């Protein structure tokens, strides 16, 4: 893994919306357009950040204890899809060999959210996983 890829995996938080009208920097769900990895800490543009979300962002940016494996697995899973798209100019969902295996990992990660996750907001992460799977052409409930 190149250093820049490792840095992106560890620092997968998106900067907060710079105040442009919705749609200028975010997609229709409020995710910044910096790839799937940026979705982990994206929040609706132009809204104040509640305390629980600040703890969630801190857990993903500076994970500790039980947060470490969840944060790194999620970051790596999303980064894998981002790098696949950069390399092949096609989403991983269109890859008939890798796509289904990648989707199974996403489904397994959803299952791990039922365990201890520390300060990570599991509901938000579940939504990110489901949205990402859908964006790649998979039904999250049929994997």
Cβ 43 vs Cβ 30: under 8 Å = yes
pTM of the predicted model, to two decimals? Answer: 0.73
* pLDDT attached to residue 23: 36
Neighbouring CB atoms inside 10 A of 40's CB total 24
Neighbouring CB atoms inside 10 A of 59's CB total 23
* pLDDT attached to residue 43: 63
CA 70, CA 93: separation in Å to the nearest integer?
A: 22
* pLDDT attached to residue 52: 84
* pLDDT attached to residue 31: 43
* pLDDT attached to residue 50: 81
* pLDDT attached to residue 119: 95
> Consecutive 10-residue runs of the chain (143 residues): their mean pLDDT?
44 36 38 65 66 88 94 94 94 97 98 96 94 97 96
* pLDDT attached to residue 40: 74
* pLDDT attached to residue 1: 41
């Amino acid at each position: 893994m190149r250093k820049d890829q490792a840095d992106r995996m560890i620092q997968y938080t998106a900067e907060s919306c710079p105040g442009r009208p919705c749609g200028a920097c975010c997609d229709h769900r409020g995710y910044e357009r910096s790839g799937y990895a940026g979705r982990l800490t994206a929040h609706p543009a132009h809204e104040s950040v509640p305390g629980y979300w600040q703890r969630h962002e801190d857990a993903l940016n500076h994970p500790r204890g039980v947060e470490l494996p969840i944060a790194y697995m999620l970051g790596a899973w999303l980064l894998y899809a981002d790098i696949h798209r950069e390399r092949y100019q096609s989403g991983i969902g269109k890859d008939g060999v890798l796509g289904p295996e990648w989707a199974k990992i996403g489904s397994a990660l959803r299952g791990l959210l039922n365990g201890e996750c520390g300060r990570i907001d599991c509901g938000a992460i579940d939504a990110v996983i489901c949205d990402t799977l859908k964006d790649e052409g998979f039904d999250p409930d049929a994997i």
